A and B are shown apart, each in its own frame.
Chain A
């Protein structure tokens, strides 16, 4: 953004054009700026830093329901962590988290990209249809989760009915009630939830690819698939990196979908680290152990946050 100095009154110009430009104005102006952002700083301290610090501290405390009454929560070192790591469900939970996250990401991305490519060709009603597809993303997850629970119902669910009619299955599949299928079912629903987000961001990426490139390639005799492989995919790479890392960060902490559909069950077969942390804290009332699992999640989130920030920086550099 370029601002012209021309015609600006002298007093203002002097202040704005002071050496170094930014924030070198009169002290009063600087204090005014500080006053405007001060509430936000207090907010960050009170609503992000404090919870973060208190979660880290609770991870080292034996914080149980009695702590709320007595105010006593003895420090126990790494005890919570070792209990969690030796929990018989822990291995399964980590594996579930990996399968759930990887499965969601791959299919959300593939289907989102397919839809984005589809809508990138102009056709009548394309715009309204595209925004209609956003509905699943805007609905409260509790609502769409409930709708899916009805669709996946063993006896009266429409999915089983359709599969039986097509003779793809011989007996109704207990999607949410069997230890064998519950993880597949929750992953499926989470894929459905995430497609619109992928579609919108990737569509934005496609729009920024100049059409001449495709025309030139077509003149050179490149087919549709070749154009997709050699133009679309490489030029979409920065956006892809952002979508995938953001998707990863969000998917790792998915809570609503799993809680509504299976509550992590049956027998922990669809439990992920997020629902595990919730269960420890709010069902077993072992807040210290819940915090320990939560802190492990933070570590995962921070790692991907770094990857994300790298990716966006690269994208910004590539874009300019």
Chain B
């Protein structure tokens, strides 16, 4: 299961001449960081675009999902079941259908190549997931807690921010991490909504890079390793959130 990942790491360290030899080099004894240097110089700007888009997506998703989850779980907003159902169904619309519509909409609004268009499009991958995760967590918060806050004269917004959010911190972290990852890994929206190379996120950067440098596996793999860093960091630093995220009916398409 993990061999392809090792093989990518291995290739990212080997000089290109070793990569096309008839027998494979199993361990990068004579490793080089050449690939990483080239990866950073050619993909650096794409990585920055991805970073900005992913961070922006997290902010947007939380802005929509946190109040919605609070309204659904604690305030029992009318029509709540219908909204939850809508989010469940929304996850099943094929991405290529969304991409088709987003492209025409972005083109009309002159938003092609804009990071904003990508943030908006990527958020559609994360909002349903975030609402479901946050809602499940907030339902577990005892009603007495928020009632006490209301009695103390706090508004509902204040209650959400200073009582509910701190106790459902884990769910907020899970939702944020996964939103970041979904946006970071998105390829479909990235490839359809960016036409200019210099505005492309790293997934499209790699894709075009393979097309142009098919034999330069060393720097292609180095780019791959760098682009996987968020996932790797996440797995090491936030392991329990990852497990929680996957089991709460996580989506990936």
Q: Does B129 contact A (CB under 8 A)?
A: no
In-complex Cβ contact of A287 among B72, B75, B104, B184 (8 A): B104
Query: A3-B142, A131-B243, A142-B203 known; A274 and B96 CB under 8 Å?
Result: yes
Nearest Cβ on chain B to A131's Cβ, whole angstroms:
6
Bits for A205-243, please: 1 = Cβ < 8 Å to B, else 0.
000000000000000000000000000000000000000
Given contacts A36-B70, A298-B94, contact A140 B228 (CB under 8 A): yes
Query: Are A294 and B96 in touch, CB under 8 angstroms?
Result: yes
B76: contacting residue among A33, A137, A146, A200, CB under 8 A? A33
The answer to whether A131 touches B97 (Cβ under 8 A) is no
Q: How many residues of B contact A (CB 8 A)?
A: 95
- The listed residue (A50, A136, A144) touching B101 by CB distance below 8 A is A50
CA distance A249 to B23 in the complex (A): 41
The answer to whether A133 and B100 have CB atoms under 8 Å apart is no
Residues of B within 8 Å of A250, CB to CB, are: 251-253
Given A142-B206, A255-B187, A37:B77 Cβ within 8 A: yes
Q: Does B51 contact A (CB under 8 A)?
A: no
Residue A32, interface by CB 8 Å: yes
A317 within 8 A of B: no
Could you tell me if B101 and A51 are in contact, using CB atoms closer than 8 angstroms?
A: yes
- Asked whether B67 lies within 8 Å of A298 as measured between CB atoms, the reply is no
Inter-chain pairs besides A3-B144, A47-B124, 15 sampled, C-beta below 8 Å: A36-B160, A47-B123, A51-B97, A54-B105, A140-B228, A143-B206, A146-B221, A151-B4, A252-B94, A253-B94, A253-B95, A260-B187, A277-B100, A281-B103, A290-B96
B residues near A (Cβ < 8 Å) are 1-2, 4-5, 7-8, 11, 19-24, 63-65, 67-68, 70-72, 75-80, 83, 86-90, 92-105, 107-108, 120, 123-124, 127, 131, 139-140, 142-144, 147, 150-151, 156, 160, 181, 184-185, 187-188, 191-192, 203, 206-207, 210, 217, 220-221, 224, 227-228, 231-232, 234-235, 239, 242-243, 246-247, 249-253
Can you list 25 A-B pairs, Cβ within 8 angstroms, ordered by A? A1-B140, A34-B71, A34-B77, A37-B67, A37-B72, A37-B83, A40-B64, A40-B68, A55-B97, A134-B243, A136-B4, A139-B185, A142-B185, A142-B187, A142-B227, A146-B206, A147-B221, A150-B217, A196-B1, A200-B246, A255-B95, A278-B99, A281-B99, A291-B101, A297-B96
